[in-house]
Amino acid sequence: MASRSERRNVCVVGVGHADGPHATGRQPYQLIAQGFGRALADAGLTKDRVDGLASAGHTGMHEVAVAEYLGLRPAWLDSTSCGGSSFEFHAHHAYRAIEAGDVDVVAICYGSNQLTANGRTLGTGGAGPRGMQPPGPMKYEFPTGLTLVGAYAMAARRHMHEFGTTPEQLASISVQMREHAARNPSAMYRDPITVDDVLASPLIADPLHKLDCCVISDGGCCVLLAAEEIATDLRWSSNPVFVRGASGGTTHHSIQGMNDMTRTAAAEAGRRAFAAAGIRPADVDVFCSYDSFTYTVLVMLEDLGFAPKGEGGAFVADGNLRLGGALPTNPDGGGLSCTHPGMRGLFLIAEATRQLRHDAGDSQVRDAAVAVCNGSGGWLSTQGTVVLGTEAR
Amino acid sequence: MNADWNDNPAWVVPVPNDEDREYWEGAGRGELRIQRCRDCGLHQHYPRAVCSHCGGDAIEFVTASGLGTIYSFTVIRKNGIPPFRDRLPFVVAAVDLEETGARILASMPNLAPQDARIGGRVRAAFRPVGDTLGFVDFEAIE
Mean pLDDT of B6-28: 94
How many CB atoms are closer than 10 A to CB B93? 28
pLDDT exceeds 70 at position A128: no
The residue segments making up the domain with residue B34 are: 18-140
Query: Residue A131: its pLDDT value, please?
Result: 54
Would residue A273 count as lying in a domain? yes
Residues of B within 8 A of A141 (CB-CB) are 105
Query: Residue B142: its pLDDT value, please?
Result: 77
Mutation target to probe the B interface, by most B beta carbons within 10 A, among A138, A144, A293 is A144
Mean pLDDT of A338-344: 94
Per-residue pLDDT band for A134 (boundaries 50, 70, 90) equals confident
Name residue A247's amino acid: S
Would residue A368 count as lying in a domain? yes
The residue segments making up the domain with residue A49 are: 10-117+216-389
Chains A and B form CB pairs within 8 A to the count of 104
How close, in Å, is residue B40 to chain A by CA atoms? Answer: 18
Would residue A165 count as lying in a domain? no
Residues of B within 8 A of A203 (CB-CB) are 75, 77
Would residue A376 count as lying in a domain? yes
Would residue B99 count as lying in a domain? yes
The 10s digit of each residue's pLDDT in A49-99 is 999 999 999 888 999 999 999 999 999 999 999 999 999 999 999 999 999
Q: Does the distance separating the beta carbons of B84 and A121 come in below 8 Å?
A: no
Would residue A285 count as lying in a domain? yes
* CATH number of the domain that residue A100 is part of: 3.40.47.10
Would residue A111 count as lying in a domain? yes
* A262 vs B: CB within 8 A: no
Query: Residue A24: its pLDDT value, please?
Result: 76
Q: Give the sign of the dihedral formed by CA A204, CA A209, CA A214, CA A218.
A: positive
H or E element that contains A160: helix A148-163
Would residue B97 count as lying in a domain? yes
Distance CA B129, CA B14 (A): 8
Would residue A17 count as lying in a domain? yes
A10 DSSP β-pair partners: A227
Q: Does the distance separating the beta carbons of B46 and A137 come in below 8 Å?
A: yes
Mutation target to probe the B interface, by most B beta carbons within 10 A, among A146, A213, A255, A380 is A146
* A142 vs B: CB within 8 A: yes
Q: Does the distance separating the beta carbons of A145 and B76 come in below 8 Å?
A: yes
* B105 vs A: CB within 8 A: yes
CB contacts under 8 A, A 107-136 vs B, are 121, 124-126, 128-133
User: How many domains does one find in chain A?
Assistant: 1
Radius of gyration of chain B (CA): 15
pLDDT exceeds 70 at position A126: no
Report the mean per-residue pLDDT for chain B: 95
Phi, psi of A207 (to 5 degrees): -95, 20
Mutation target to probe the A interface, by most A beta carbons within 10 A, among B13, B70, B79 is B79
* B141 vs A: CB within 8 A: no
Distance CA A107, CA A109 (A): 6
Mean pLDDT of A22-34: 91
Query: Residue A6: its pLDDT value, please?
Result: 79
> Cα angle at A246 between A244 and A252, to 5 degrees?
165
The 10s digit of each residue's pLDDT in A100-111 is 999 999 999 999
Alpha helix stretches (DSSP H) within B8-68: 21-29
For chain B, what percent of residues have pLDDT higher than 90?
Answer: 91
Nearest to A256 among B76, B103, B118 (CB): B103
For chain A, what percent of residues have pLDDT higher than 90?
Answer: 89
User: Which residue, among A286, A285, A316, has the nearest Cα to A299 in the 3D structure?
Assistant: A316
How close, in Å, is residue B79 to chain A by CA atoms? Answer: 5
pLDDT exceeds 70 at position B123: yes
Would residue A184 count as lying in a domain? no
Residues of A within 8 A of B24 (CB-CB) are none
Mutation target to probe the A interface, by most A beta carbons within 10 A, among B44, B77, B107 is B77
User: How many domains does one find in chain B?
Assistant: 1
pLDDT exceeds 60 at position A2: no
Mean pLDDT of A314-340: 97
Query: Residue A123: its pLDDT value, please?
Result: 81
Q: Which residue has the higher pLDDT, B69 or A342?
A: B69
Query: Residue A132: its pLDDT value, please?
Result: 61
Query: Residue A349: its pLDDT value, please?
Result: 98
Helix (H, G, I), strand (E, B) or coil at A335: helix
pLDDT exceeds 60 at position A127: no
For chain A, what percent of residues have pLDDT higher than 70?
Answer: 97
- Strand ranges (DSSP E) for chain A? 10-17, 52-55, 76-78, 105-112, 203-205, 208-209, 219-227, 241-250, 286-289, 370-377, 382-389
Query: Residue B3: its pLDDT value, please?
Result: 54
The 10s digit of each residue's pLDDT in A178-216 is 999 999 999 999 999 999 999 999 999 999 999 999 999
* B118 vs A: CB within 8 A: yes
pLDDT exceeds 90 at position A43: yes
B71 burial type by CB count under 10 A (0-12 exposed, 13-18 middle, 19+ buried):
buried
Mutation target to probe the B interface, by most B beta carbons within 10 A, among A159, A206, A299 is A206
Helix (H, G, I), strand (E, B) or coil at A268: helix
How close, in Å, is residue A152 to chain B by CA atoms? Answer: 9
Residues of A within 8 A of B103 (CB-CB) are 256, 259
Is the predicted ipTM greater than 0.85, yes or no?
yes
Helix (H, G, I), strand (E, B) or coil at A30: helix
Report the mean per-residue pLDDT for chain A: 95
Distance CA B114, CA A120 (A): 27
Q: Does the distance separating the beta carbons of A150 and B135 come in below 8 Å?
A: no
Would residue B13 count as lying in a domain? no
How close, in Å, is residue B23 to chain A by CA atoms? Answer: 10
* CATH number of the domain that residue B97 is part of: 2.40.50.840
Phi, psi of A209 (to 5 degrees): -90, 170
